[in-house]
Amino acid sequence: MTVYLIRHGKTQGNVERRYIGSTDQPLCPQGRQELQNKTVPAAERIIVSPLLRCRETAEILYPGRNVEIADDLRETDFGEFENHTYEELKDDPRYRAWLDAAGATAPPGGESRAQQQERTIRAFHGIVETCREDERVALVVHGGTIMCLLEALEPSHRFYDWQAPNGGGYACAWDGARLTVAGTV
């Protein structure tokens, strides 16, 4: 099976370098424009995070196509750090501790990387169980979702190696046990 992991287009929060996880932001005008002429691979199924930025991205990249929503493919909940920038948070000792732990702990009121990865992997396995072996599936999701999937299911297991740009991502082969990255989209 071929799986395309595509990150949503740019939002105002991305432009301002804010932690935008559970905040339901739309694409910004620049984000919409950047997606307009992008060519994406053909897919039989398009599955998206429930958040608006992913749904809007799928509408632009796969116009007129039916999309399926997978609630557990949403981005990390950054809790009290949500919608803030590094500059706004850098003097908060709780934020410094979270950075020092590389996401292993949860931000206050949010979720840890392990919690996000658990729900993301569960959602992914539920999706691929319903797909044919020869099917091409596009997941229009979040940067953190892509990183969690590849950290867990790609052989290198390196989270930060898989930072996709807005509107970009990875073409992967799924063999029933692991994802193998074949290139970028």
Q: For residues 52 and 113, is the Cβ–Cβ distance under 8 A?
A: no
Banded model confidence at residue 69, pLDDT cuts 50, 70, 90: very high
Q: Which is nearest to 127 in space by CA: 149, 96, 97, 157?
A: 149
User: In this predicted model, what pLDDT tens digit does every residue of 20-34 receive, in sequence order?
Assistant: 999 999 999 999 999
pLDDT at 88 over 90: yes
Comparing 159 with 180, the larger pLDDT belongs to: 180
pLDDT at 103: 81
Query: Could you give the CA distance from residue 19 to residue 103 in angstroms, rounded to a whole number?
Result: 13
Query: What is the DSSP-derived secondary structure letter of residue 78?
Result: -
User: In this predicted model, what pLDDT tens digit does every residue of 38-56 receive, in sequence order?
Assistant: 999 999 999 999 999 999 9
Banded model confidence at residue 159, pLDDT cuts 50, 70, 90: confident
* 129 Cβ contact partners less than 8 Å away, ≥ 6 residues apart: none
Place of tokens 């996709």: 164
Q: Which residues of 102-134 are buried (b: 16+ CB within 10 A; e: fewer)?
A: ebeebbeebbbbeebbebbbebbeebbeebeee
Q: Among residues of the chain, what percentage have pLDDT more than 70? A: 100
Q: For residues 65 and 46, is the Cβ–Cβ distance under 8 A?
A: yes
> What is the pLDDT of the chain when averaged over all its residues?
96
- SS3 at position 129: coil
pLDDT at 91 over 90: yes
In this structure, which long-range contacts are made by residues 122-125, counting pairs with CB atoms below 8 Å and at least 24 apart in sequence?
A: 122/72, 123/70, 123/71, 123/72, 123/73, 124/73, 124/149, 124/153
Per-residue pLDDT, averaged over 143-170, amounts to: 94
Per-residue pLDDT, averaged over 86-92, amounts to: 97
β-pairing, 45-48 with 179-184?
unpaired
- Six token digits for residue 32: 């919409």
- Six token digits for residue 58: 């799928």
pLDDT at 102 over 90: no
